[in-house]
Each structure stands twice: as C-alpha cells, then as structure tokens.
Amino acid sequence: MRGRYGNLTRTRAMDPEHDYLVIYQTMLRYEFPWDMKLGLNLAFNRSFSIPAIAAVHTATGELTDRTQKRIDDTGLLMYEMVLNGFEQPRGRDALRRVNQIHRPHDISNDDFLYVLGCLVVIPTRWLQEYGWRQPCCHERQATYLFYRELGRRMRITDIPGSYEEFESWFDAYDATHLQPNDDAATIERATRMLMLTRIPKPFAPLGNALVSAMYDAPLQRAMQVEAPAWPVRAGLHVALKTRSRLQRWFGAPRTTPLFADGIQTKSYPDGYEISQLGPQQDHVPGHPVT
C-alpha cells in the first residue's frame, strides 16, 4: 500500500486546464493501464455500431477483412497521440495521419462527435465501475480536455463545454441512434474473434458468453448479440469487482510505464511508420473510417 495513492496526490495538485496531457498519460501508463486499454477498446467497439458508421466499415472491409490490422492501426494512432501529445513530432504525425484518413470522406459532425464522446465517456464509466479506485474530478476533466483538443484539431464543432455536458449529449445521442443493424452485427462477429483470443484458457469454454457480457444491453441489441445467462453476467461482475479490491488493498504503484519499450502489435512485429498506418486507399468516399 505504500505510495499507492501517490499519483492521485500529484494529480490533485495539478491544474487540468494546463496539465491535462500529463494527467491523462498518468492514467493510461501508471494508474489504470489494463482498464484504460479495455475501456478504449469498448469505446471504439461502440462507435462502430451506430448504423451509419457501421455501414461504411462493412463497405470498406477494413474491420471485416483486415480486422487485426485495422484494430492495431487505430490503437497505434491513438496511443501515439496520448504518449506524445499534439505538439511533439510523433504526436503531430499521428494526428496528421488521422486527418488524412478522414479528409476524403463525407462525415457529419455528429458522427465525429459521437466517436469522440465514446472515447470520453465509455472508459471513464468503466473506471467508475471497475477501476481499483474512482477517477477523481481532475482525471475526468483531463480526459475531457484531451479529447476536446483532439476534436478541435480535427475541426469537430459544437463540442460540449464540460465532461458532464458531453456525457449528457452522448447518452441522448446514443439512445436515439444506437439501433439494431446487420452491419454492426457483421463487425462484431469479426472483432469478437480477436477478443476470444484474449480469454484465459481456463475460461475458454465461456469465452463467447464472457465477451457478450462485456456489452451493455443497448450495445447487445445493436449488435444483435444474445444476452448471456445471468450467472455469467453476475460472475464476470463479481470477478471484476474482486480484482479491483485486490488491486486497491494489495496492489503496488506501477514503476514502469505502459509502452516503456514501445507499442507492440501483432501486425507490426518489426515496427511501423506512422504515415503508413490506416487504409492506403484514402480516396474512397463515405463516412468515418475511425
């Protein structure tokens, strides 16, 4: 327990308006690395499931035919921006590549804003439910400010003025637009295969049910996924709650940051060039390739 709350103490001494990048980096790299990565995965998963966005992804085949590469590319671009910010060369290159990918497409501002909202709200809610401690107000604010800055640099407009306002906007949009659709179901089947490979072998027989239990009811309906039996849902909830308590009571502060040796992915075992990430045929018209 010694020093367990040291990062939280330092975070509370910072000003999120000026230090949001350092705070958000600390959350990802030291305080909640496993939970943040999972939360971001769930956020992108949800953003792919809005019918208008899902239709584009199935049309391009990026998530259905090149699933591993598509997910790796998305993660690499996002983590490069988090690790380096928007002013350092690698962060600028990643942001430039994100904008290049989106530029040829006819994307509505609300589509952009919804994806941004997923990245703000979904990981935060995961931490509130299953993190070893609750994210503090500075951490919620830093999360919002990081993605507000990303949104501004992507020329997204009408970004809500605070985390709380963004959360309210997101819930309203989600309730209206997250509807059952075949394209989302197709994408879910492709991405599920990757998630199943991460299930520990002793739990492999319950793999499909455990993956489905990670989705809330609206997302299950949108993806046309059958809700798992209540013992599976309850068991996963208890296991995650137990993990959070064990981390809180017996965990030690992380001394080596996540990605200290670089970002490793299956698609690029020998490294990667930021300019080559994402689909290379960027001229195809459509909606977001997020």
Read off the pLDDT of residues 236-270 as tens digits, 9 standing for 90 and up. 999 999 999 999 999 999 999 999 999 999 999 99
Domain that holds residue 136: 7-252
> What burial class does residue 252 get, using C-beta atoms within 10 Å of its C-beta: 0-12 exposed, 13-18 middle, 19+ buried?
exposed
Give the per-residue pLDDT at 13.
98
pLDDT of 2 strictly over 90: no
In a domain, 267, yes or no: no
Give the per-residue pLDDT at 290.
40
> Mean pLDDT, to the nearest integer, of 125-130?
98
pLDDT in tens, 59-112: 888 888 899 999 999 999 999 999 999 999 999 999 999 999 888 767 799 989
In a domain, 282, yes or no: no
Give the per-residue pLDDT at 1.
57
Q: Quick one: DSSP state of residue 27?
A: I
pLDDT in tens, 150-205: 999 999 999 999 999 999 999 999 999 999 999 999 999 999 988 888 787 888 88
For 289: left if phi > 0, alpha if psi spans -120 to 50, otherwise beta; the answer is beta
Question: For the chain, how many structural domains are there in total?
Answer: 1
Question: What's the CA dihedral at 259, 262, 267, 271 to 10 degrees?
Answer: 180
288 — pLDDT class (breaks 50, 70, 90): very low
In a domain, 286, yes or no: no
> Mean pLDDT, to the nearest integer, of 39-52?
93
pLDDT of 281 strictly over 70: no
> Mean pLDDT, to the nearest integer, of 232-236?
95
Per mean pLDDT, which range of 34-38, 100-104, 253-257, 281-285 is the poorest?
A: 281-285
pLDDT in tens, 132-150: 999 999 999 999 999 999 9
In a domain, 102, yes or no: yes
Give the per-residue pLDDT at 55.
86
Give the per-residue pLDDT at 204.
86
Measured in degrees and rounded to the nearest 5, phi and psi for residue 242 equal: -65, -45
In a domain, 237, yes or no: yes
Cβ-based neighbour number of residue 114 at 10 Å? 23
In a domain, 276, yes or no: no
In a domain, 289, yes or no: no
For 133: left if phi > 0, alpha if psi spans -120 to 50, otherwise beta; the answer is beta
pLDDT of 280 strictly over 60: yes
In a domain, 81, yes or no: yes
